[in-house]
Amino acid sequence: MAEPVHSDEPLLKTPLHAEHVALGARMVPFAGYDMPVQYPTGILTEHNWTREHAGLFDVSHMGQAFLVAEDKSHETVAKALEALIPADVLNLKPNQQRYSQLLADDAGILDDLMVTRVGAPGHEGWLYLVVNASMKEQDYAHIQARLPKGVSLNRKDDLGLMALQGPSAEAVLARLAPETAGLPFMMSADVQIDGIWCHVSRSGYTGEDGFEISCHGEDAAKLWTKLLADPEVKAIGLGARDSLRLEAGLCLYGHDIDTTTSPIEAGLIWSIQKRRREEGGFPGAARVQSEIKDGASRVRVGIRPEGRAPAREGAVITTPDGREVGIVTSGGFGPTVNGPVAMGYVAKDVSAIGTDLHLVVRGKPLPAKVAAMPFAPHRYKR
Amino acid sequence: MTTRYTKDHEYIRVEGDAGIVGISDYAQGQLGDVVFVELPSVGKNLSKGDEAAVVESVKAASEVYAPVSGEVVDVNRDLEASPGTVNEDPAGRGWFMKIRLTNPSELDGLMTEEQYQEFVKSIS
């Protein structure tokens, strides 16, 4: 997700827009959509509720699309996508999902995305993509222009997408679709909930166990209402989504990663599987391989300010003696940590955990330390 | 005792030659959960409109401006440990600072309670 797009264009609405308004949400423009930043209880309460129970997020603004091989071959469609991203798509099992990045020729990150090998019968040769709302037009144009003959991109703007996140998510969804309880992290399944077709994946953007659920737009409000009827579930806005993902150490596109950062600098080497590291064959492979071998000159790190003052995006990072060594790309207050947390890029020589740094906030250097991420432990069901 | 408001949603409650400064209930509602407050040093001289304090919610940092000119004679240290007090009781325990006014006539340029409530209605 990137900065809100301000323009004279009328804001788009997700299929859940009326639900947010009815719940009393504060609506803000985000990536061209009118989205809930928070509901009446506020960001802190929503954040903590998600960590302790289950939060329901409308993420229908994100881009959902299918890549389809005419010859119904997984290999055909996988190779087409592998030409654009550094993940191993070929060895995905049916229904398996992977995080990756669309890369430019210099290994800058054009966007990050989720890729799933569709497992539904009759869909061999299909990949399901989820891309950032703010980047979808660019992403689709980029992908479209680089597809080989026989592979097509079908954008599915008529789908809704919601995320159910938190320790109660498994039990809540199992009450409606018992088979989802057994899904491991980053696997997906097609299920029916009260006659509604849902594509459910065990994934999310909060560091908690949970699911992302895609359904037809016209069914989204019914499914949302059904999930929200469970006393363990509350609606959560974009504000808490951001504080949750920051504590989980997850990158926000347009902030922590963009066209000026490589996946290795960003610490995303885990998302590049062994075969791709060795073989290359994706945009920017030469740089990625050389950074894997020799290290990147700067890296993304977690940072804990020592006082109570949050350091926000753009704060300059220096050594205690004032040498400028980097910049904060995300920062704020972590409700679960109960203190300020940040991430940013620093020169390699000051990137070790525990290194003393200063963050320049309103002209004043505030002491901070490089810290391990995530700030709040991941609780995925592996 | 009179309370006056600025268009930036600060209030000043004047008692004698000094005034208690804070942010309005509307402002705390717009900010959301306050997680950090940076206060000025006691003894600091402020001109009307100067950045006097910073209030941070989970989402963002916002400046609190001096509604009048004067010297900071006291600050609410309780906010350092309990910044959420700004949300709970903005007009009472959630005050920010006490300013000794150098130019009380500046109060004439601020809004009365009634004018401020009208102003809030006009922007919300």
Superfamily of domain A297-382: Aminomethyltransferase beta-barrel domains (2.40.30.110)
Give the residue among A2, A224, A191, A174 at the shortest CA–CA distance from A95: A191
Mean pLDDT for all residues in chain A:
96
Q: Are A84 and A127 in contact (CB under 8 A)?
A: no
Q: Which residue has the higher pLDDT, A7 or A131?
A: A131
Q: Which two tokens stand for residue B56?
A: 């941070």
Cα–Cα dist B34/B86, whole Å: 7
Please give the Cα distance from A306 to A92 (Å, whole number).
43
Q: Locate the domains of chain B by residue range.
A: 2-106
Tokens (6 digits) for A116:
């799933």
Residue in the block written with tokens 């960001």: A43
| Residue B76 token pair | 């609410």
Residue B35: strand, helix, or coil: strand
Q: Are A171 and A227 in contact (CB under 8 A)?
A: no
Label residue B124 by pLDDT band (50, 70, 90). Answer: confident
Residues in CB range of A338: below 8 A, 6 or more apart: none
Cα A65 from chain centre: 16
Among chain A residues, CA nearest to B57? A333
Which residues does chain A have within 8 Å of residue B35's beta carbon, measured at their own beta carbons? 44, 310, 333, 335
Q: Is the pLDDT of residue A323 over 60?
A: yes
Phi, psi (deg, nearest 5) at residue A299: -140, 155
How many percent of chain B have pLDDT more than 70? Answer: 100
Mean pLDDT of A175-187: 97
Rounded to an integer, the average pLDDT of A351-355 is 98
Place of tokens 């993304």: A300
**Torsion angles phi and psi, residue B116, rounded to 5:** -65, -40
Q: Write the residue in A42, A310, A335 that is nearest to B56 by C-beta.
A: A310
Please give the C-alpha separations between residue A239 and each of A45, A187, A206, B31, B46, in angstroms, as whole numbers. Answer: 11, 27, 12, 12, 34
Backbone angles phi, psi at B92, to 5 degrees: -115, -100
| Region A153-158 average pLDDT | 98
**Among the listed residues A74, A79, A80, A78, the one whose alpha carbon sits nearest the alpha carbon of residue A125:** A74
Average pLDDT over residues A221-230: 98
Q: What is the CATH code of the structural domain delimited by A17-60+158-247?
A: 3.30.1360.120
Neighbours of A109 (CB within 10 A): 24
Helical residues (DSSP H) of B23-104, grouped into ranges: 25-31, 78-81, 85-88
| Residue B12 in this model has a pLDDT that exceeds 90 | yes
- Binning pLDDT at 50, 70 and 90, where does residue A115 land? very high
Indicate yes or no: pTM above 0.90: yes
Return the sign of the alpha-carbon dihedral for residues A131, A222, A215, A154: negative
What is the reported pLDDT for A5?
A: 45
Residue in chain A lying closest to B63 (CA): A362
Q: Is the pLDDT of residue A346 over 70?
A: yes
- Say how many C-beta atoms besides its own lie within 10 A of residue A141's C-beta: 11
d(CA A380, CA A371) in angstroms, rounded, equals 21
User: Which residues of chain A make contact with B38, given a CB cutoff of 8 A?
Assistant: 309, 362
In Å, how far is B64's CA from the nearest CA of chain A?
14
d(CA A210, CA A174) in angstroms, rounded, equals: 11
Provide the edge-to-edge strand list for the sheet that holds B61-65: B34-38, B51-57, B61-65
The CA–CA distances, whole Å, from A59 to A42, A209, B117 equal 18, 17, 36
Provide the pLDDT confidence category of residue B35 given band limits of 50, 70 and 90: very high
Give the tens place of pLDDT for each residue, A249-261.
Answer: 999 999 999 999 9
**What pLDDT, on the 0 to 100 scale, is given for residue A8?**
65
Q: B2-106 domain in CATH 3.40.50.1000?
A: no
Element (H, E) at A170: helix A169-176
pLDDT band at A2 (very low <50, low <70, confident <90, very high): very low
Once rounded to an integer, what is the mean pLDDT over residues A218-240? 98
- Beta bridge mates, A98: A115
Burial class (CB in 10 A: 0-12, 13-18, 19+), A124: middle
CB of B54 within 8 Å of a chain A CB? The answer is: yes
Q: Which residues of A touch B59 (CB under 8 A)?
A: 37, 43, 239, 242, 332
pLDDT at A7 over 80: no
Judge: B61–A312 Cβ closer than 8 Å, yes or no. Answer: yes
DSSP symbol at A87: S
Residue A4 scores a pLDDT above 70 = no
A333 chain-B contacts, CB cut-off 8 A: 35-36, 56, 58
How far CA B100 is from CA of B31, B55, B76, in Å, comes to 27, 22, 15
Structure tokens that stand for B22 in this block: 């804070």
Quote the percentage of chain B above a pLDDT of 90.
97
Compute the average pLDDT of residues A117-143: 97
Fill in the DSSP letter of residue B111: B
Residue spans per domain, chain A:
17-60+158-247, 297-382
Tell me, what's the pLDDT at A1?
32
